[in-house]
């Protein structure tokens, strides 16, 4: 059965104080969540250890990026194995901000995917089309191409480490959300593609990201192929993040 996940991507925000405050609120509220949601907090890497300590097992922790190499003379980079070593359980790869601002091509994304899977971390692969790609009717082809290239070398048991987040670039941090119907349609296509790639498609969690807020989360999470959300802005406000976690329907 696939996991239902709400992940908070803090991006380059926060401080040690904020980590203690937000993670403390997640820790105390998580006990009363009875819908089986898996919570993942993805802070700046420098604060990952503090976050793990502050959450004390109430949520999992991830990193926002990893190097495409295993180790060596790569000043400033962080290896997937290092994130694993300190107790992280997830790594985001291919976030649109990395693709757009740091020139991460599909080839680089695929190299990072390989590092993440080899390290033992779970992969949260981000894919999504830009506004101009959507307007020119290419959204589905772009997203499927990103999934195909990133996961070309995945096989066997590694599939159980894979989570995909569909995040239309035009919806990230803009207040615009894909309609629940459009998001569901893309998730269905991604799941169908996973089947073609030989993955156990029904077991793989697919998240939606892009301006998820307390008032639209329930409708998105009610879609049959949407298994949760990747939350940016709203994850920095404990009350909003927790109400998004609460919006996950309990399994029937
Ligand atoms: P947002 O960001 O929720 O602020 O739109 C989502 C993301 O970038 O993961």
Q: Dump the DSSP string for 30-41.
A: HTT--S-PEEEE
User: What does the pLDDT read at residue 176?
Assistant: 87
Contact predicate 214/246, CB 8 Å: no
Q: What is the pLDDT of residue 8?
A: 98
- Rg of the chain, C-alpha, whole Å: 17
**Residue 239: exposure state from Cβ atoms within 10 A (0-12, 13-18, ≥19):** exposed
Is there a contact between 150 and 142 (Cβ–Cβ < 8 Å)? no
The pLDDT score that the predictor gives to residue 250 is 87
- Whether 187 is a known active-site residue: answer no
Q: Are 142 and 149 in contact (CB under 8 A)?
A: no
Ligand 1 center to 213 CA (angstroms): 10
For a substitution probing ligand 1, which of 91, 171, 230 has the most ligand atoms within 8 Å of its CB? 230
pLDDT confidence of residue 117: 98
Q: Residues 106, 112, 115, 117: is their CA dihedral positive or negative? A: negative
pTM confidence score: 0.96
N- to C-terminal Cα separation, the chain: 12
Could you say which DSSP state residue 247 is in? Answer: T
Other C-beta atoms lying within 10 Å of the C-beta of residue 89: 18
**The one catalytic residue among 95, 104, 129, 187:** 95
H or E segment at 42?
strand 38-42
Distance 233 CA to ligand 1 centre (A): 6
Name the residue at shortest CA distance from atom 6 of ligand 1: 232
Quick check: CB of 209 below 6 Å from ligand 1? Answer: yes
Average pLDDT along the chain, 252 residues, taken 10 residues at a time: 95 94 94 92 98 96 98 98 98 98 98 98 98 95 98 95 97 90 97 97 97 96 97 96 95 67
């Amino acid at each position: 059965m696939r996991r239902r996940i709400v992940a908070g991507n803090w991006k380059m925000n926060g401080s040690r104080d904020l980590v203690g405050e937000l993670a403390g609120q997640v820790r105390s509220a998580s006990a009363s969540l009875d819908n089986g949601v898996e919570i993942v907090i993805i802070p700046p890497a420098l604060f990952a250890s503090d976050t793990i300590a502050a959450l004390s097992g109430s949520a999992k922790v991830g990193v926002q990026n990893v190097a495409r190499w295993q180790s060596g003379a790569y000043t400033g980079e962080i290896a997937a194995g290092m994130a694993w070593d300190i107790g992280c359980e997830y790594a985001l790869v291919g976030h649109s901000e990395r693709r757009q601002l740091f020139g991460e091509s599909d080839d680089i994304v695929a190299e990072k995917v390989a590092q993440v899977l080899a390290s033992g971390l779970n992969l949260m692969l981000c894919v999504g089309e830009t506004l101009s790609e959507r307007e020119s009717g290419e959204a589905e082809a772009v997203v499927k191409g990103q999934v195909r290239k990133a996961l070309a070398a995945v096989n066997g048991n590694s599939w159980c480490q894979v989570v995909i987040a569909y995040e239309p670039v035009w919806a990230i941090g803009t207040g615009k959300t894909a309609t629940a119907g459009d998001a569901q349609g893309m998730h269905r296509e991604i799941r169908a593609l996973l089947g073609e790639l030989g993955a156990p498609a029904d077991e793989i969690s697919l998240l939606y990201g892009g301006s998820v807020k307390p008032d639209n989360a329930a409708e998105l999470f009610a879609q049959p192929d949407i298994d949760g959300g990747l939350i940016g802005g709203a994850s920095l406000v404990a009350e909003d993040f927790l109400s998004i976690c609460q919006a996950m329907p309990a399994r029937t």
